Chains A and B, each alone.
Chain A
Amino acid sequence: MILVGELSLWVALLMATWAATVSFAGGYQGRRDLVASGERGIYATLAMIVLAALGLWTAIFTHDFSFKYVASFTSANLPKAYLFTSFWAGQAGSLLFWCLILAIYSAIAVYTNRTRNRALMPYVSGTLAVVMIFFLATMCLGANPFERLDWIPPDGRGMNPQLQNPGMAIHPPNLYLGYVGTTIPFAFAIAALLTRRLDAEWLAAVRKWTLLAWFFNTTGILLGMWWAYVELGWGGYWAWDPVENASLLPWLVNTAFLHSIMVQEKRGMLRKWNVTLVVSTFLLAIFGTFITRSGVISSVHSFAQSPVGKWFAGFLILAIIVTAYLVTTRLKDLEAKAELESMVSREAAFLYNNLVLVGIAFSVLWGTLFPIITEAVRGEKITVGPPFFNAVNIPLGLLLLLLTGIGPLIAWRRASVANLQRQFLGPVIALITAPFILLIFGMRDVTAIIAYAFAAFVAMTVVQEFYKGIGARRRMYKEGVAQAFTHLIARNRRRYGGYIVHMGVVVIFCAFAGLAFKRENDLTLKPGDSRDVVDPFGHKWTFVSQGISRYDALNRQVTAVALDVSRDGKPAGVMSSEKRQHVDSRGQPTFEPSTEVGIRGSFQQDVYLVLAGVREDESAEIRVTFNPLVRWVWIGGALMAIGGLIVMWPQAKRRGVQAGYAATMHPSPTPEPARELVEA
């Protein structure tokens, strides 16, 4: 099985090469037999890559330590679940994993389009095959997961304990599913550019794929944040590290595209812009992978310096040149079919939304690449840190939040005064009253007050939309509130799913703003010592050390501190934090010691306890952090994911729905059907 897997990697490379060649040739010459052969080539590539993946999994599960990969990332005593996930724990395996997802996506794209988009499909398969060739060649020649050692170690190194966490097990696959998902829209964009069929056809074909990529990118980033928060012990979830930024960049541009695509559907505008966004999303995903794998930019997350970086850099440069050539030679075919009519319109709001999203992406990219740029220009590396990203992105983020409220409610083309009054009276009242309420409650942080005011504005727009929609359904169909609510969403998934995503964004912004009130306290407590600390909400917390315990667990030596906690004099349970030294069965230490944080969460705040060390007199050095509203990050993230799922969920083929959908693919002055329902 392993040998089969090893060989099938090479066969897959051949198959992909075949698929690329005949697909492009078939498309160019209009030969159906070649096109069909190319599509079969895509399926064959998938089959070969599946075999290769099964081969690697077999090697891992049978503990064949003659393979460098297996010996490097697993050990005989690693739990089964982590044996499974060790597939993507290292460079070569994660490349194979990436390739596996790409092959599955490609086969699905080819299969679902077997009777549709026929003019585009040869070039779509061709482009997908080329991307697969790149990954397969990188593996076969650069980082082969089946590379053998010249000796057989009796056992492997095992998996880094920090990676032995459920969050770490599902975060990378999510991120990969998101990253790889950008390849399909990219392939369609390239096909549309090559064939000059740049109308609504290709956009309709990629919308679902873009959403899919967005969905996984979103969940991937959030899972990464959660993992960092519970596992790394520095008390936060986002550090503006280059690798974190790399995952954010495609997300930002993809989000911009998901909005601007609506402008093209409705008004036929932004055609060049949309192609550029789709292509950029893919390029940024590749760029992100390059950053993570090349060691070009120093990051705590990065893989070791490796030759794979060169492959990625080469592919990136090639892809940029090809797409830039294609876009610039087709500018004439991408002329807008309509013009902006008024600044007070949905188009304008979406345009600004795009501008801000791309602006944020640009500043993040600039900040990430700054050391490289300054080294190239001045010969000196100069870095920027979190203060830079915060200074730029907090104002831009707030502007984006405000637009989140304006965009969905303002009319297309030109908003009338009546439209503005009807839609924005409630939200503006919320915008104005929120700061006063916060001031009365004693909040003084200006940025946070602005953030909460904007959040109130956006939340009000969403609530108002649901309120009106439910009211209309209750009047027209005599439905109950709950039924009206579910039907409202089910019948207008794209619109109300979008609102739910926006609500998630509001919740997350509120949680981010809560960071302004974070408080850190460093305490040294002898057993029996008691210390009082005041949290950001004015409550008094008392921590009493119960002392240090040391004990051996299954595969680790644990040093733990336990604290009796009370809040305003009322007992609030026991919190503990551990230092763990992972050991093998002879008691020899493996890996560096790791910290297990103690978190006492509530909707108000997390109390975050880290044991820094223990002194000789048994006093514990601890850090207690009050992290306000952190739980709302995860709640907001869940809302975004749920909203995304609702938008993506296949719309049942019901009367009128298909027609209504198709009609929106062309510029038309007719308002959406749903809007009439609301305004009736």
Chain B
Amino acid sequence: MKARTKFISGGLIVLGTAGYLMASSIRDTAVYYLTPAELSAKTVSDPTFYDTGVKVGARVVPGSIVRQPGGRQVAFAMTDGAKSYNVIYRGITPDTFTDGVDVVVEGRLSRDGTFHATTLLAKCASRYENAPQKGDDHYKSTPGYRATVNKA
């Protein structure tokens, strides 16, 4: 057998293995990424979506966050405007988790309609792009503003 042929067969074995690993791990670990409305529709058409691992992207309903004293467990509501779910998450919440942020939760929806999250990622849309709004008097309180006022 020519070296080239040997190499190609070896390469195919490597790529085949990689492909197999990818395919099998996608089968085992892939989860749906849904909005609350989509999850709701899914559970209506296919009840197996209860108690199945899914990922949900939604926004935290302002004022809904209830932390168990100590902060190990947190309950909140998430919504996409059309459908809301109550979420219970046990674990340390990320620093960016607060009212009104976009979150991605991974976990299972139980049949009582509560979402039990095992992971919680929070993304703050305003984290990087947060130009001040007109009439936002927050600025009057900043040290820089006070310094300017004092100088004047």
Contact = CB atoms under 8 A, between A and B. Distances in A.
Nearest to B119: A385
A72 interface: yes
Nearest to A147: B131
Interface residues on B, range: 35 or more
Contacts of A614: 70-71
Contacts of B131: 68, 71-72, 149, 157
Contact of A392 (B11, B18, B129, B136): B18
A485 interface: no
A615 interface: yes
Contact of B139 (A155, A355, A356): A155
Nearest to B71: A613
Nearest to A158: B142
Interface of A is mostly: loop
A382 to B, nearest CB: 5
Contacts of B130: 72, 157
Contacts of B11: 351-352, 355
B122 interface: yes
A76 B144 contact: yes
B34 A381 contact: yes
B76 interface: no
Interface in B18-34: 18, 21-22, 24-26, 28-34
Given A306-B129, A340-B7, A592-B124, A153 B71 contact: no
B31 to A, nearest CB: 6
A509 B58 CA distance: 37
Contacts of A149: 131-132
Nearest to B12: A355
A383 B54 CA distance: 9
A571 interface: no
A276 interface: no
Interface string B1-20: 00110110011001101100
Interface of B is mostly: mixed
Nearest to A396: B18
Q: Among the interface residues B98, B106, B132, B146, which one has the most CB atoms of the partner chain A within 10 A? A: B132
Given A77-B142, A151-B134, A90 B7 contact: no
Nearest to B11: A355
Interface string A127-167: 00000000000000000000001110111111010100000
A384 interface: yes
Interface residues of A, number: 83
Nearest to A63: B144
Contacts of B97: 592
10 shortest A-B CB distances, which residue pairs?
Answer: A76-B144, A613-B71, A391-B25, A615-B70, A155-B144, A155-B142, A381-B33, A154-B145, A387-B29, A586-B141
18 contacts: A63-B144, A149-B131, A154-B145, A300-B96, A304-B127, A363-B21, A367-B22, A383-B31, A383-B32, A383-B55, A388-B22, A391-B25, A391-B29, A395-B17, A610-B92, A612-B70, A613-B69, A613-B72
Interface of A: 63, 65, 68, 71-72, 75-77, 89-91, 149-151, 153-158, 160, 162, 232-234, 298-300, 302-306, 339-343, 345, 348, 351-352, 355-356, 359, 362-363, 366-367, 370-371, 380-385, 387-388, 391-392, 395-396, 399, 522, 524, 584-586, 588, 592-595, 610, 612-616, 619, 621, 623
